[in-house]
Structure 1
Amino acid sequence: MSFKVLIADKISDEACKILQDAGLEVTKKTGLDEDALAKEVQGFDAILVRSAVKVTRKVIEAGKSSLKVIGRAGVGVDNIDLQAAKEANILVMNVPQGNAIAAAEHAIGLMFSMARMIPQAMQSLQGGEWERSKFVGVELCGKRLGVIGFGAVGRIVADRALGLRMHVSAYDPSVATYVMEAMGVLPALTLDELLPNADIVSLHATLTPATKGLINKETISKMKKGAMLINTARGALVDEEALLDALNSGHISFAALDVFSKEPPPKDNPLIHHPRVIVTPHLGASTHESQRKVALAIARQVRDYLLNGVIAGAV
């Protein structure tokens, strides 16, 4: 009997071929809503998704009689009901390293864009203006970057920032301080240590009940006046209303957001139209290289688990 794999999100044909060449039966059905996915998943041994598809409790309950593994082609698993999967004894796998370079480079790109107001200057020039004095930026060299979340992405961001001769501090209670120190990064034991001294704060934490709303009215008040904020992790890490207030008051001088609490955000979300906010539509992992890497990796992980019981990337 061959195992059946449901591809419920856009994953490369090359990844599908890995599964098919191993004798697995592959079905591709994308664009399904919760009800349709709950109906479709029945009878499958594995389901593969990216970030757009939500594997909810309803979906897991519908498929639990046959489902053995949920594969996430990427890092974040907030689109999967982990508790429901645990209760159903279904393994959840991700690819924690696959898109780290892409996400880190996007954060660095946003940092440059803020420091030199590149999108605003381009828009001005395209509008027929020549406003050199309006767009006087700041140098990154010598500034302090505060990294919140020191996993794969946070470490690459820190490494690149050190290469720019920035000073880097990091806060992550799950990472030993010697790991940071070995890179030349100053550990912060609390957010209260990191926030007041950082010229730029970059978020790379995973979204959990403990980190939801991590950047809020209280924590923003502890940030240096005029600091900049980058969020390429998860939108719900930031209280968007508190961020908007801080931007309007000038306490935060600039923000760069690749993620939002609701995606896609409402068209009238004031942060999208704010003159001192740079926004991108969740592009952190969107490179050809990273999408290929995570798709191939999760296909191999799911194949090896179904055929040989090998566990890799378990959440």
Structure 2
Amino acid sequence: MRILIPDLGYDDADLEREVAGPDFTIDFYRWQPGIEAKITDESWRSCHALALYEKIPVTPAIMAKLDNIKLVVRAGVGFDNVDLKGFGAMGIPVCNVPDYGTMDVAEHAIGLLLGLTRGIVEHNERLRGDPIGEWMFHTPPIKRRLLGRRIGIVGLGRIGTATAMRAKAFGLDVWFYDPYLRPGIELGLGFGRAFSLEELLAGSDVVSIHTPLTAETRNMIDAKALSHVKKGAILINTGRGETVVLEAVYEALKSRQLDGAGLDVLEIEPPQLNHPLIKAWRTKEPWLHGRVVLTPHSAFHSPESIVTLRKKSVKTAVDFLRDGNLYNCVNAEFLKK
């Protein structure tokens, strides 16, 4: 059996081969711009499973070459670069690896919140410029105690739940909005539940986004949604950049509807330097300075999470090809059709 990794971000596939065992062949191409042109037709045609990262979109032209394909694994959580419906029509399951960085992302979300509310990032930046003159405790603009405040979790999946449990440990009152969870789950968890996004936004001091990117969630946090947010709230996004309209966040920060924002993901990555929010953040405009923390889509990352991702993506393929065990299928609705 043969597994193809067309956009591996590492110099070798020793880890993948160790997981797969001797009865599997691992073909891989080290990711670089233009790698698509170097992948041979034979590589596409001979593979029984495809393990994809996020760099290569699987086009109809590529799909037409997959003569022996039995499974596609998206080595990550999101699957925007895979045609779920198209593979479903071919009878090919598509799986993802949703849990490799759960703890890392949850910790990052809380880290962004603490960075803003304890002034950690702002103090560090000011002290770097003037260690003596800035030796003051009151300069960050949105310092506050978290105990007793409410955090609203949008999407109570694996990462949303892990974030909620960490927030609860800090004494935050946890609410969530997730229309796909069965009634009563909030009772077992001890969380509050909002039955509309507007209700959650209006009642939360902190809003943390943890939804996948779908047609329903794309641009979910827009100007209309933010008009409902509790005045002075903080927005955290470690989910998908396209769920939040950056222009709307800029306007909400400018009007003080939002006091702060911690963003690990953006609509366009890397950011557009001429976007008004990015420009104001970079130039340290006084009205915004200290109220925004950006990180480079790094919430998922740790040495441990990458090892887990690489192992689980290959194991998902091996378990299906060898034993027929299917895990984390994301196109089941199309397979049924």
Fold in common (TM above 0.5): yes
Which residue in the other structure is 2:243 paired with? 237
Aligned match of 2:305: 290
Conserved 8 A contact 2:148-2:173: yes
The residue number in structure 1 matching 2:120 is 118
Quick one: distance in 1 between partners of 2:202 and 2:60?
44
TM-score by length of 1: 0.92
Quote the offset at 1:38 in angstroms: 8.5
Q: Which residue of structure 2 aligns with residue 303 of structure 1?
A: 318
270-279 or 197-206: which moved more? 270-279
Q: Does 1:144 align with 2:150?
A: yes
Identify the range of structure 1 (186-195 vs 203-212) with the bigger mean alpha-carbon deviation: 186-195
Q: What does the per-residue CA deviation read over 1:17-74, in whole Å, with 9 as the maximum and x for residues that have no partner?
A: 222x242111120235484369553332222123x32333335424332222111222
Amino acid across the alignment from 2:172: M
Q: Give, in angstroms, the shift of residue 154 of structure 1.
A: 0.4
CA separation in 2, counterparts of 1:148 and 1:4? 36
In structure 1, the residue matched to 2:57 is 55
Rounded to whole Å, the distance in 2 between the matches of 1:218 and 1:34 is 42
Q: 1:114 to 1:251 in 2, by over 3 A?
A: same
Aligned to 1:132: 137
Matches within 5 A, 1:106-255: 106-128=108-130, 129-130=133-134, 131-135=136-140, 137-255=143-261
Q: Which letter maps to 1:3?
A: R
Structure 1 residues 4 and 191: CA distance shift in structure 2, 3 A: closer
Kindly provide the CA deviation profile for residues 124-165 of structure 1, in whole angstroms up to 9, marking residues without a partner as x: 111114143222610111110000000000001111111111
* More deviation, 136-145/261-270: 261-270
The CA deviation at 1:192 is 1.9
CA contact (8 A) 1:272 1:279 kept: no
Letter in 1 for 2:14: D
CA distance 1:121–1:270, change in 2 (3 Å): farther
The structure-2 alpha-carbon separation of the partners of 1:146 and 1:59, relative to structure 1 and needing over 3 Å to count, comes to farther
Which deviates more from structure 2 when the two are superposed, residues 79-88 or residues 245-254?
A: 79-88
Give unpaired runs (5+ residues) of structure 2. Answer: 282-288, 331-337
Change (3 A) 1:264 1:66: farther
* Structure-1 separation of matches of 2:50 and 2:7: 7
Q: Which amino acid aligns with 1:18?
A: V
1:60 to 1:173, Cα distance in 2 relative to 1, 3 A: farther
CA distance in 2, matches of 1:38, 1:138: 57
RMSD value, Cα? 2.0
* AA aligned opposite 1:250: R
**For the residues of structure 2 that align with 1:158 and 1:135, how far apart are their CA atoms?**
25
Q: 1:89 aligns with which of 88, 91, 116?
A: 91
Cα deviation code 1:223-246 (max 9, x no counterpart): 011111000000000111111111
Provide the C-alpha distance between the structure 2 equivalents of 1:189 and 1:123, rounded to a whole number of angstroms.
Answer: 40
| Corresponding residue SS for 1:41 | helix
Does residue 47 of structure 2 align to residue 44 of structure 1?
yes
Match of 2:286 in 1: none
DSSP-derived class of the 1:247 partner: helix
CA distance in 1, matches of 2:139, 2:3: 59
2:27 match: 27
How many residues matched?
312
2:218 and 2:154 map into 1 onto residues whose CA distance is 13
- Distance 1:33-1:93 versus aligned 2 partners, 3 A rule: farther
Residues 1:117 and 1:72: Cα distance change in structure 2 (over 3 Å): same
Amino acid aligned to 2:18: K
Match of 1:271 in 2: 277
Q: Please, which runs of 5 or more residues in structure 1 have no aligned partner?
A: none
C-alpha separation in 2, matches of 1:81 and 1:14: 28
| Structure-2 separation of matches of 1:150 and 1:238 | 17
Aligned residue type for 1:301: T
Residues 38 and 145 of structure 1: is their aligned pair in 2 closer, same or farther, counting only changes over 3 Å?
A: farther
TM value normalised by structure 2: 0.86
Contact 2:232 2:257 in 1 (8 A): yes
